[in-house]
Amino acid sequence: MSIANTSFFYAYQNTLGLTYARGFEETYNPASTLQTFVGARQLFLGNMSTTDVTNGLTVVNAHLSAENTYSNAALGNTKTVSQQLNNFFTNTYGVPLRDNFNSLTPTQVVAWESSFKEAWYQANTQELVQQIGFATWNGTGFVMYPAFSGITNVQNTSGIAATSGNNITVFGQSPISNFAMPNDLIVASVSSSLPSSAVFSVSTTVVTGYANTNTLVLSGPIGSATSLFAFRQLKNPEYLEFRFATSGVTGLAATYIASDIILSVTLNNGITTNVTVGAANTTGRVNVGVYNNTTYKTTGISTIALASGTVASFGTQQSVEVWVKSTY
């Protein structure tokens, strides 16, 4: 079985992403090993008498040096591997890893783990080619919501064990950083199922940190919700594209376009551009903006309006998938 086989690579990126998540949590979770080590230094400092200071500083400096090394190792433990992995795919298959999967053919689709997407971003300062959401007509306008798909994105869900203000303790997440990292979107629901796209809004809370080994600190309270859904947001501006018809992967995009539709799309960077979803399109993909014009690089889409045509031209599935664009 080839390394480029999607079954192999799904398992591999899952393991590598989990490694990164554990290293990340060891650095930032206050209940982690590193924080215990920091506590030992603080205890040592707190018990020094005045006459101990000169000799004691050598111990403190050793602590600080070790702590810095530990932090760098924990955050960088997958960086070199990810960079060489990209070189391997480029040299072996002639295509960078981010474009080998989810880019060229429907048979090369990998459901990315959020932890691996974050590790890849930290190592290569770029995002993987991935679905970042849907644009769905809800009867009055287009609703943007994150991609929830076992085909293109492995989405983590969790029940809630306890709440205290903005601190939310979740069930059985080990490590909790594999469920959600700081800056991830958190959608709360009274159901164990993700809310319908017709009533879904991303005006939700985000993760700001960890309170202990199983508690997320959010930017706001979540009310009476019983389930959480975590979505990783793009951190690096990328070119985006719409997918539909033959290129729709998840089965939640329009499968046939009856006549041309022009969408007025406003990007997160404030730029507005018209995008034509054409009936004659044979690839099922269309650029959002102009490719290779950095004006259109963005972390997402804020609004979509109907500029021309009618949503009836989308047929029964009145939505398009939103993807990071492949360079191929």
Largest CA distance in the chain: 85
pLDDT: is 322 or 72 the higher one? 322
Q: How confident is the model at residue 71 (pLDDT cuts 50, 70, 90)?
A: low
Q: Which of 5, 228, 204, 16 is nearest to 113 (CA)?
A: 16
Domain borders along the chain are 153-231, 237-324
- Per-residue confidence band for 313, with pLDDT thresholds at 50, 70 and 90: very high
More reliable by pLDDT, 72 or 236: 236
The pLDDT value given to residue 195: 62
Nearest to 295 by CA among 306, 287, 286: 287
Q: Among 31-35, 59-63, 234-238, which is the least confidently predicted range?
A: 31-35
Using the predicted structure, report yes or no on whether residue 32 has a pLDDT greater than 80: no
Per-residue confidence (pLDDT) for residue 203, from 0 to 100: 55
The answer for 282, left when phi > 0, alpha when psi is -120 to 50, beta otherwise, is alpha
Per DSSP, which regions of the chain are E strands?
112-113, 131-137, 142-145, 153-154, 157-164, 167-170, 185-189, 205-212, 215-218, 227-231, 240-243, 261-267, 272-277, 285-288, 301-308, 319-324
Percent of the chain with pLDDT over 70: 93
Given a cut of 60, whether residue 197 has pLDDT beyond it is no
pLDDT at 312: 95
pLDDT band at residue 155 using 50, 70 and 90 as cut-offs = confident
251-295 confidence digits (pLDDT tens): 889 999 999 999 999 999 999 999 999 999 999 999 999 999 999
Work out the mean pLDDT of the chain and round it to a whole number. Answer: 87
User: What integer is the mean pLDDT of 122-142?
Assistant: 91
Percent of all residues in the chain with a pLDDT value above 90, rounded to a whole number = 48
The whole-angstrom separation of Cα 95 and Cα 86 is: 9
Indicate the pLDDT class of residue 314, thresholds 50, 70 and 90: very high
Higher pLDDT among residues 133 and 52, named by residue: 133
Give the predicted TM-score (pTM) of the model.
Answer: 0.84
Non-local (6+) Cβ contacts of 52 within 8 A are: none
Give the pLDDT score at 169.
93
Q: Give the C-alpha separation, 311 to 142, whole Å.
A: 10
Higher confidence at residue 157 or residue 68? Answer: 157
Q: How far is Cα 283 from Cα 24, in angstroms, rounded to an integer?
A: 39
Mean pLDDT of 240-257: 91
What's the pLDDT at 151?
Answer: 85
